[in-house]
């Protein structure tokens, strides 16, 4: 025969005779309800945080990249040559333009050394670190503005890093090539500030205008 061990007033009495009072049941149920509500609220808070992080993941990542781009720009020691004549910041969809127009003129004809991320970035390094490091060791930065460029977080990171260099060294350290007219599009403040700070060079789709384009580009890289 089984007997109760608690509560005190039911000790030694048989289980068969156990009849809990109504308030005791209500108290137990009430405690469970309170615990359930507490756990539900806690779960709701975690779900809300997870939802906010998920919806804002690109914004958070973008902000982290901007913070990294704001690290101080260190000049190379006096007398030390730059590794590259220019760092070329471009969107992947403009890669063929770089291959067909920029590289033949600047590298093959003018014997300049360009940093192109598809070719010159060190494998295994963080992309952001590759960008910052190679911009630091490049004499100039060329920004290829296009619709795809201004909508890319990585391109915006490159533009922000270049803008920080302007603050440190002056506008002559950055060259903007306008592949597509983005002046009347909604763009990030960094892009807008770059357009206000630097006289850009417009790409000529007309072959007759290209000699003048390349002349301006070469002058800007001197």
Given this model, what pLDDT does residue 46 score? 74
% of the chain residues with pLDDT over 90: 46
Among 9-18, 117-126, 167-176, where is mean pLDDT lowest?
A: 9-18
Most confident of 40-44, 69-73, 117-121, 144-148: 144-148
User: DSSP letters along 149-215, please?
Assistant: HHT-HHHHHHHHHHHHHHHHH-GGGEEEEESS--TTS---HHHHHHHHHS--EE--SSGGGHHHHHH
**74-117 pLDDT per residue, tens:** 444 444 578 999 999 999 999 999 999 999 999 999 999 999 99
- DSSP code, position 34: H
- Contact (CB, 8 A) for 89 and 120: no
Among 55-69, 76-90, 202-216, where is mean pLDDT lowest?
A: 55-69
Report the C-alpha gap between 142 and 70 in whole angstroms.
19
Among 1-10, 122-131, 201-210, 213-222, where is mean pLDDT lowest?
A: 1-10
Quote the tokens at residue 58: 């690109």
Quote the tokens at residue 147: 């619709």
Instruction: Say if pTM beats, i.e. exceeds, 0.75.
Output: no
Given this model, what pLDDT does residue 78 score? 45
**151-176 pLDDT per residue, tens:** 999 999 999 999 998 988 888 999 99
């Amino acid at each position: 025969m089984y007997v109760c061990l608690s509560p005190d007033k039911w000790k030694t009495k048989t289980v068969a005779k156990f009849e809990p009072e109504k308030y005791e049941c209500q108290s137990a149920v009430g405690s469970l309800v309170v615990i359930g509500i507490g756990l539900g609220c806690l779960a709701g808070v975690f779900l809300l945080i997870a939802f906010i992080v998920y919806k804002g993941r690109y914004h958070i990542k973008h902000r982290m990249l901007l913070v990294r781009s704001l690290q101080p720009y260190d000049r190379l020691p006096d007398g030390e040559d730059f590794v590259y004549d220019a760092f070329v910041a471009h969107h992947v969809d403009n890669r063929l333009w770089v291959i067909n127009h920029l590289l033949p003129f600047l590298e093959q004809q003018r014997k300049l050394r360009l940093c192109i991320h598809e070719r010159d970035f060190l494998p295994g390094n963080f992309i952001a670190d590759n960008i910052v490091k190679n911009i630091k060791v490049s004499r100039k930065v060329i920004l290829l503005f296009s619709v795809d460029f201004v909508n890319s977080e990585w391109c915006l990171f490159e533009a922000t890093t270049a803008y920080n260099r302007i603050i440190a060294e002056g506008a002559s350290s950055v060259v903007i090539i306008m592949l597509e007219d983005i002046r009347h599009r909604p763009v990030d403040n960094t892009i807008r500030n770059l357009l206000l700070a630097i006289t850009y060079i417009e790409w000529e789709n007309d072959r007759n205008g290209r000699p003048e384009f390349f002349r301006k580009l070469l002058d800007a890289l001197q």
